[in-house]
Chain A
């Protein structure tokens, strides 16, 4: 049976999480088809066709799919998915919104947020905020799975030459419509895709002090994140939150500044390759996961770090 991977994109470009999801599909094994559902998204389908390991791209180009409304895309995935053994999507907010809806239409119990493929029907996934890893086996005929992108190394974006096939299904459930979007604009890399992430916690004291982190980030080509404590305190917007209830990141280098290290934060960053913690409280739990800990006042250490780099 073939595997259907749902592409993450913004109608202009294919998002990186798709490449990690295709990697999970390769680990399962089988023909990999990619569904690009959107509007005016032909270029995305072209990119998907070039991805290593993809044998076919299905392009559903219709106004009903422009904003990835779950009601419409899930219906499409439910219709197309009947012929597949596995349906995979990245465990992004888009994937998590749509995929369970498609699963229910197929009368399948989906498996969320997998971090490892044990076999074609058995997967590992974190539960209890990552405090426990469960190995789960599905008995459904179709496996509907969301994939935690950071747990799989992306496949190459080039090297494939799949055919693009148009899908002539326009599923508009007619119950929802897109009103608007407020996307955070930044020249820095996206949190979940960045090689280096610098996060600030309650120790930053206010939003203005994050300026220090932005300056350091610009020097390192890093993204800037925050702990839930910093978000709840109103220092920075929620889309910067790293943790179980925010974004899960696994960069090459993670620098935690003024973050104590609550379980819920650790769950979002502990798979980073190298972790640096800067905190003046030497008892802070963050030091128990840090490769390099610096017990220091962040207001001295961060500017000094910036000048020494």
Chain B
């Protein structure tokens, strides 16, 4: 079966981002960009399913500026077969991304779409669920285990109280949580090979999708700083402070 994997270009998780001085946006000038960690887990899961013989083709799709090609190439180096870039320099909000993905799903007809549960920049945790709504596909969010069966997939989900398993009819959307797998590193020969794999480019307009933003960011600011308190000498002093100063025990 065919699997579609969505990958997002985000500020690398090791970079500590800061708001711009005028508070208009986050300062992303000259910072390292990478594939969103949850998306990398999605690619890895698709590749493992291919290695097991469950999946025959993996299509990696990304959206945004031209540079998103880099993240598609990363996915290709990890084992995806071909790439699709939906190119735009406009801001893409999750609903717009879900609509573009829907258009691609209609064209490619994958049996499963695997994507990260959220991106580490916007932290929205929405796109997979919205793609499910728009296509009518079932959704297995926050997956820690994915087992494909005949015509269906069993997804074990990380929920607040523990784990929940659901069975979804295919085609379905799966969004990955951290413990689904540990992504591999791309080998140098695979990175070289990835450069020759096909990568098609289209635009939201080609897909017939209106990407006009629905929300506006009025300002960004750093969170309230917490002041460091005092060091206590020993356990006795700690207990005394908690009882008499903080009055929390």
Contacts and interface: CB of A to CB of B under 8 A. Distances in A.
B122 to A, nearest CB: 6
B245 to A, nearest CB: 9
A93 B124 contact: no
Contact of B138 (A71, A107, A109, A139): A71
Interface in A228-278: 237-239, 244-245, 247, 252-253, 263, 270, 273-276
Contact of B132 (A101, A134, A252): A101
Interface stretch (A36-44, A159-167, A178-186): A178-186
Contact of A274 (B157, B165, B236, B242): B242
Nearest to A118: B218
Contact of B229 (A103, A105, A237, A290): A290
B223 A308 contact: no
A106 to B, nearest CB: 9
A122 interface: yes
Interface of A: 67, 69-71, 74, 78, 92-94, 96-105, 107-113, 122, 126-140, 173-184, 190, 192, 196, 220, 237-239, 244-245, 247, 252-253, 263, 270, 273-276, 282, 287-296, 301, 304-305, 308-309
Interface stretch (B11-19, B68-76, B106-114): B11-19
Contact of B221 (A93, A133, A181): A133
Interface string B132-152: 111011110110100000000
Contacts of A175: 136-138, 168-169, 172
Contact of A109 (B95, B238, B246): B95
Interface of A: prevailing SS: mixed
Contact of B215 (A109, A244, A275, A294): A109
B214 to A, nearest CB: 4
B126 interface: yes
A251 B126 CA distance: 27
Contacts of A108: 95, 214
A304 B233 CA distance: 13
B188 interface: no
A97 B128 CA distance: 9
14 contacts: A96-B125, A104-B95, A104-B132, A109-B215, A122-B218, A129-B123, A132-B220, A132-B221, A134-B220, A135-B217, A173-B136, A181-B165, A296-B234, A308-B235
Given A136-B218, A175-B168, A220 B133 contact: no
Interface of B: prevailing SS: mixed
Contacts of B136: 173, 175
Interface string B163-200: 11111110010000011000000000000000000000
6 A-B pairs closest in CB distance: A291-B229, A109-B214, A104-B133, A104-B130, A100-B126, A100-B129
Nearest to B102: A104
Nearest to B140: A176
A247 to B, nearest CB: 7
B222 interface: yes
B177 to A, nearest CB: 8
Given A109-B93, A133-B220, A135-B218, A239 B158 contact: yes
Contacts of B217: 134-137
Nearest to B99: A104
A179 B165 contact: yes
A133 B246 contact: no
Nearest to A295: B231
